[in-house]
Structure 1
Amino acid sequence: MTTTDSATRPATATSTLDLAGVSRWYGNVVAVNDVSMSLGPGVTGLLGPNGAGKTTLLHMMAGFLAPSRGTVSLDGRSTWRNPEVYRRLGLVSEREAVHTFLTAYEFVLATAKLHKLPDPQSAARRAVALVEMEDAQDRRIGTYSKGMRQRTRVAAALVHDPQVLLLDEPFNGMDPRQRLHMMELLHSLGDGGRTILFSSHILEEVEQVSGTVQVMVAGRLAASGDFRTIRRLMTNRPHVFAIRSTDDRALAVALMAEPSVGGVELGRDGLTVRAGDYGAFTRALPKVALARGVRVHQLVPEDESLESVFSYLVEA
């Protein structure tokens, strides 16, 4: 089946998910802190390191958790204690919740029946085909790989053709081909007028699927908007490098004259260099070393983790 089937045709109605000053805390622990955003048709990535509050935020959007403060609404109606939202909303949570003794078709069919669809059998077949699980749909879920279980759960979330789809780390466990197909499916759903939000802690996943992102760090919304603009912020942030060479002192003196270098520290284990422009510094270093007759043994970025990138966005 191609992505022109019912779940990827243009939506007959569009939906908007709005969060206004949303916070959620557990005792003294603040999981989400004063988040506001509005999500309309298209694909949006919810980006942040593990523990940033993405799952808590998605659960409030889906009506599983009540905000400690603020409001979450779908088309103007609160998602909390409002079962009607599930007619328009589908959710794939990070935690697996599938009965391994069922087949994929049986699991998706059960979901279709819970939604009281007029033709649950046809709806289940369409949803299973949409995630390319036809060949394995009659096998027990317990025999599936993690990627296959993920696709089965996505099929169940799509079986009632929702206007809003929330996915928590949907690409976990998928092989490259499965990832590519799922990315194409999300693109098609977004282009068809559906509101899609998926969370990830991997920059490349968000870059390939979504042009719009919401970046969370430590429960706060650190950045919001076009991915390319935010990625430029990440690229232009100060960078820290650890360098070891045959003559650290001579290299330190030479690097201080480079416009891209903001500071140099000389220690027992080599140099620590702070550069304002990643590209300019990495291009200049070989030329400087060659001119001084210095051989560089090691060049290691010290702040390239996602956590450091996101922390910079919070402070920027």
Structure 2
Amino acid sequence: MITVELTNVSRWYGNVVAVNDVTLTVRPGVTGLLGPNGAGKTTVLHMIAGLLGPSQGTVLIDGKPSFRNPDIYRTLGLVTENEGVPGFLTAWEFVLVGARLHKLPDPESAARRALDIVELGDAVNRRISTYSKGMRQRTRVAAALVHDPAVLILDEPFNGMDPRQRLHMMDLLHRMGADGRTILFSSHILEEVEQLSGVVQVIVAGRLAASGDYRHIRRLMTNRPHVFLIQSSDDRRLATVLMGQISVSAVELDPAGLQVRANDYGTFTRALSTVARHHSIRLTGVLPSDESLEDVFSYLVAQ
């Protein structure tokens, strides 16, 4: 299992700082890289992939520098954001060229396996110029997988895919991450990152704004109230009781249940179960209603 490590990494272009003092670790499994346009995500991915050298700091893959180190491509697969697939080739020809460039012992079998993984079916013998954007994207993913890499870097991998293709790709990345591969992907679609990755790295204005499970990050935001939707056997009575709790700042009764704003996540959740048991109120639902990745991301960008 391979780990990717960035330590105090910066990258600048003249007077423009694209990435500023970023330190992060990408471990086996699926990690999402999130940030607004221009935040520095692609620059980070290109430095990991060895396409750019850091202006300062170190970028290591399995303990070895990625820049000017061709050997890393034996264990690294890369899908860039910009399409670079020659339309005059078929998918079979394109992926087979990659297998031969990697000097695999059986390039035909490797190409066939990679194309089967992305489910292009009979279209593998059609010219890529006739493909939809989603099919071209899957062709590029197949080329990145042809040498069975332990590390996979993907920049906006779901671009152009229809819902079925997107679900298939998510399932594929889930399975590869569960098998011990180290996968880092960027996306501007919050739902994709939330559904696919267990760990999130948030880049804002070239800096690492947050790192870890996004729900854990949200719970550490102590200067912003947490919002819960609570359902119980007696919502009105529970609302009255909760208003007396020091960790509760507001309670609102609506048809879906109680909307409760809490000042401290841990204090409130512990008090809730104690209060409900003491007053013989049965809790039927407790749902944090502002812990989506979008809420976390919006908060971090605002900061």
SS, match of residue 11 in structure 2:
strand
Identity of aligned residues (%): 73
Instruction: Name whichever of 228-237 and 164-173 sits farther off.
Output: 228-237
Q: Given that residues 214 and 296 in structure 2 are in contact (C-alpha distance below 8 angstroms), is that contact kept between their aligned partners in structure 1?
A: no
Q: CA deviation at 1:134?
A: 2.0
Aligned counterpart for 2:30 among listed residues 43, 66, 72: 43
Instruction: Identify the residue that residue 215 of structure 1 maps to in structure 2.
Output: 202
2:33/2:201 contact within 8 Å kept: yes
User: Displacement of 1:309 after TM fit?
Assistant: 5.8
In structure 1, distance between residues paired with 2:37 and 2:219: 22
- Give the Cα separation in 2 of the matches to 1:113 and 1:200: 30
- What is the correspondence of 1:111-126 to structure 2 with a 5 Å cutoff? 111-126=98-113
Return the offset for 1:135.
2.2
Q: Are 1:182 and 2:182 an aligned pair?
A: no
Gaps of 5+ in 2: 227-247, 252-258, 262-291
Give the SS at the match of 2:200: strand
Residue aligning to 1:195: 182
Number of aligned positions between the proteins = 246
Deviation, 1:234, is: 8.1
- Matches of residues 141-160 of structure 1 in structure 2 within 5 Å? 141-160=128-147
Letter in 2 for 1:78: P
Tell me what 1:133 maps to: 120
Question: Secondary structure of 2:38's partner?
Answer: coil
Matches within 5 A, 1:1-20: 14-20=1-7
State how far apart, in whole Å, the 2-side matches of 1:22 and 1:92 are: 22
Residue deviations 1:227-265 (CA, integer Å, cap 9, x gap): 3223556899479xxxxxxxxxxxxxxxxxx9559xxxx
2: CA distance, partners of 1:166 / 1:235: 33
SS in structure 2 of the partner of residue 50 of structure 1: coil
Distance in structure 2 (CA, Å) of the matches to 1:163 and 1:305 = 27
Confirm or deny that 1:227 pairs with 2:211: no
Q: Assess, with a 3 A threshold, how the Cα gap between structure 1 residues 137 and 237 changes in structure 2: closer, same or farther.
A: farther
TM-score by length of 1: 0.73
TM-score if structure 2 supplies the norm length?
A: 0.76
CA distance in 2, matches of 1:90, 1:157: 5
Which runs of no fewer than 5 residues in structure 1 stay unpaired? 1-13, 240-257, 262-278, 282-303
State the partner residue of 2:283: none
Q: Hey, what does 1:253 align to over in structure 2?
A: none
Q: What amino acid is the match of 1:79? A: S
How far 1:171 sits from its partner (Å)? 0.7
For the pair 1:62 / 2:49, whether they are aligned, the reply is: yes
SS at match of 2:105: coil
In the aligned structure 1, how far is the partner of 2:190 from the partner of 2:97?
35
Counterparts of 2:128 and 2:27 in 1: how far apart (Å)? 34
CA RMSD in angstroms comes to 2.5
Residues 234, 309 of structure 1: 8 Å contact kept: no
Partner deviation per Cα, 1:43-97 (whole Å, 9 max, x = no partner): 0000111111000000000000010010101111100000000000000000111
Letter in 2 for 1:90: G
* Residue identity in the other structure for 2:193: V
| Pairing partner for 1:85 from 72, 91, 96 | 72
Q: Give the superposition deviation at 1:42.
A: 0.4
Separation in 2, partners of 1:133, 1:66? 35
Alignment check: 8 A CA contact 2:151 2:183 kept: yes
CA separation of 1:161/1:176 partners in 2, compared to 1, >3 Å: closer, same or farther? same
Does the C-alpha gap of structure 1 residues 234 and 259 become closer, same or farther in structure 2, counting only changes over 3 Å?
closer
Instruction: Name the SS for the 1:137 alignment partner.
Output: helix
CA distance in 2, matches of 1:209, 1:29: 32
Cα pair 2:194 2:293 within 8 Å, conserved: no
Match of 2:92 among 97, 105, 108: 105
Is the 8 Å Cα contact of residues 233 and 313 (structure 1) preserved in structure 2? no
Match of 1:75 in 2: 62
